[in-house]
Amino acid sequence: MATRTHIRPLALVGALLLAALALWLASFGAGTAHAAKPVHNRFQGSGVHEGTPAECGIPIRWEVTLTGQVKEFFEGGELVRIQGHLTEEGVLTNLASGKMIDYKIAFNQRVFFEGGVLQIVETDGRFVDVRGVRGESVKDVGRVVLEVISSDERVALFEKGQHPFRKKTLLVLEDGLGAFCEVLS
């Protein structure tokens, strides 16, 4: 006599329901099933910032070059996020004495947009790490999440670590030059 496999009706119904659910989810897309693949780019930028901070009264020049790999994420053709691993090389100069300090750092940054407008900036890693010849240093290390309210207002939503520079530079990088007074004096 042949062996017959008996399938319980309840198990069969459950399996059919799971299969139907999987097909239904696949047809509509669950999560990022319909999101476009990220666009990979190399980034390079540079700038020079100068000022005479009130904290020390010495003129400071800060030359910065940023390079890195970035991914741009789009949904429905609209840019929603940029994610990058950035390397920064720079030179800080006391313009009165000529004293110069070179540095190199790396950090990760994510930038979120809504309706084409910048909303959130997240930075992780060493944002500033400068050391003077006498052992003095300026470090801005850890995670910071900033909300962009407008072009004139940004708010720190989250901070972990030490951020003496980042807190001063929410809008204008030159506002943070005073953090380098000690290492350049």
Q: How does DSSP assign 50-67, residue by residue? A: EE--TTT---EEEEEEEE
Examine residue 4 and state whether it is found in any structural domain, yes or no. Answer: no
Instruction: Say if residue 87 is exposed, middle or buried (CB neighbours under 10 Å; 0-12, 13-18, 19+).
Output: middle
Residue 72 has pLDDT above 90, yes or no: yes
User: Cα-Cα-Cα-Cα dihedral of 111, 116, 118, 119, to 10°?
Assistant: -90
**90/173: higher pLDDT:** 90
Q: Determine, yes or no, domain membership for 54.
A: yes
**Domain assignment present for 123:** yes
Which of helix, strand or coil describes residue 17? helix
140 within some domain:
yes
Give the alpha-carbon dihedral of 70, 75, 79, 82, to 10 degrees.
-30
DSSP state of 164: T
Q: Is 115's pLDDT higher than 70?
A: yes
**Residue 13 domain flag:** no
In whole angstroms, what separates CA 91 from the centre of its chain? 22
User: Residue 34's pLDDT is what?
Assistant: 56
Q: Which of these, 142, 146, 90, lies nearest to 119 by C-alpha position?
A: 146
Average pLDDT over residues 87-107: 93
Q: Which two tokens stand for residue 74?
A: 């789009």
Residue 26 lies in a domain: no
Question: Residue 11 has what pLDDT?
Answer: 36
Determine, yes or no, domain membership for 7. Answer: no
Q: How confident is the model at residue 17 (pLDDT cuts 50, 70, 90)?
A: very low
Q: Tell me how many domains the chain contains.
A: 1
Residue 147's pLDDT is 86
- Please provide the average confidence, as pLDDT, over all residues in the chain: 79
C-alpha Rg value of the chain to the nearest Å: 26
- State the first-to-last Cα distance of the chain, in angstroms, to the nearest integer: 98
- Closest by CA position to 118, among listed 95, 144, 150, 92: 150
CA atoms of 146 and 170, how far apart (whole Å): 8
Domain boundaries, position 68: 39-184
